[in-house]
Structure 1
Amino acid sequence: MPSGRVRWFDANKGYGFISIDGGDDVFLPAAALPAGVTTLRKGAKVEFSVVEGRRGPQAMSVTPIASAPSLVKATRPKPDDMAAICEDLIKLLDSAGNTLRRHRYPSQAESKKLATLLRAVADNFDVQD
């Protein structure tokens, strides 16, 4: 049975693609997922069968393989620390909002700092439990 990693999967569209280890991509229809599974995360390791579909190879009988624990999840801040980070971020956003109310954008350095912080905080919230 071939194995690979989910390149992307969109539950709303009902399909995605799997990158085969050492090969091409394979179409992944939602119907190939096991019962009770509605979506797969990007990078999830899976085993599957391949059949020839109308537009090329297509995955069937997909079985997710238990993956290693997430490094991001293991290293993200504790909830109490994250609360303090969010409070500091709110202060920075409030300052940026006040600057915008005066019909100006924050300086380039402040904007870059704020964007970097927003991305970092978003990454900590985006980790699936």
Structure 2
Amino acid sequence: MPSGRVRWFDANKGYGFITGDDGKDVFLPSAALPADAAAPRKGAKVEFSVADGRKGPQAMNVTFAAPAPSLVRATRPKADDMAAIVEDLIKLLDSAGNGLRRHRYPSATDSRKLATLLRAVADDFDVQD
């Protein structure tokens, strides 16, 4: 049974491509995926059988051999570094909260900076596996 990695898959379009271990691309229709499986992520290791489709080789009976490596998990900061970032963020939020208690919103510039920092920290915490 051939194997390879998902090159890309678009769940909205319902198809994608697998790059086989031999280097050749194989069309991946959503119908070839297991019924209970979510859309495969780029880089997911798969095993499949091949049939000749109208436009070339097409994958069938796809099974997942291993999950795709999580890029977020591999690139997120160490726990010690995140602790320092969270502590600094708490200080910034406390300062904003004090201003709000005095019925003053932070300036537009400070609001944008705070929102950007909150989103960045949230992204580091939100690991999709």
Deviation sequence 1:29-80 (CA, Å, 0-9, x none): 00000120130010000000000101111000000012486475266344x6
Give the equivalent residue in structure 1 for 2:99: none
> Structure 1 residues 29 and 72, CA, compared in 2 at 3 Å: closer, same or farther?
same
Unaligned runs of 5+ in 1: 100-113
Structure 1: which 4+ aligned runs deviate by more than 2 Å? 66-72, 74-78, 80-83, 85-88, 120-127
Give the equivalent residue in structure 2 for 1:98: 109
In the alignment of these two chains, the number of paired residues is 112
Deviation sequence 1:100-125 (CA, Å, 0-9, x none): xxxxxxxxxxxxxx8xx89x768635
Give the equivalent residue in structure 1 for 2:63: 63
Give the equivalent residue in structure 2 for 1:111: none
Q: Does 1:8 align with 2:8?
A: yes
What TM-score results when the alignment is normalised by the length of structure 2?
0.63
Q: Does 1:31 align with 2:42?
A: no
What TM-score results when the alignment is normalised by the length of structure 1?
0.63
Please state how far the C-alpha of 1:85 moved relative to its aligned partner: 8.0
Please state how far the C-alpha of 1:84 moved relative to its aligned partner: 1.6
Q: C-alpha separation between the residues in 1 aligned to 2:33 and 2:58? A: 12
Q: C-alpha separation between the residues in 2 aligned to 1:23 and 1:15? A: 19
8 Å Cα contact 1:30-1:38 kept in structure 2: no
Q: C-alpha separation between the residues in 1 aligned to 2:87 and 2:10? A: 31
Larger Rg: 2
> Structure 1 residues 128 and 18, CA, compared in 2 at 3 Å: closer, same or farther?
same
Q: Does the residue aligned with 1:124 lie in a helix, a strand or coil? A: helix
Q: C-alpha separation between the residues in 1 aligned to 2:28 and 2:42? A: 12
> Structure 1 residues 9 and 71, CA, compared in 2 at 3 Å: closer, same or farther?
closer
What percent of counterpart residues are identical? 65
> Structure 1 residues 37 and 82, CA, compared in 2 at 3 Å: closer, same or farther?
farther
Q: Does 1:87 align with 2:98?
A: no
Q: Does 1:45 align with 2:56?
A: no
Q: C-alpha separation between the residues in 2 aligned to 1:16 and 1:85? A: 43
Q: Which amino acid aligns with 2:109?
A: N
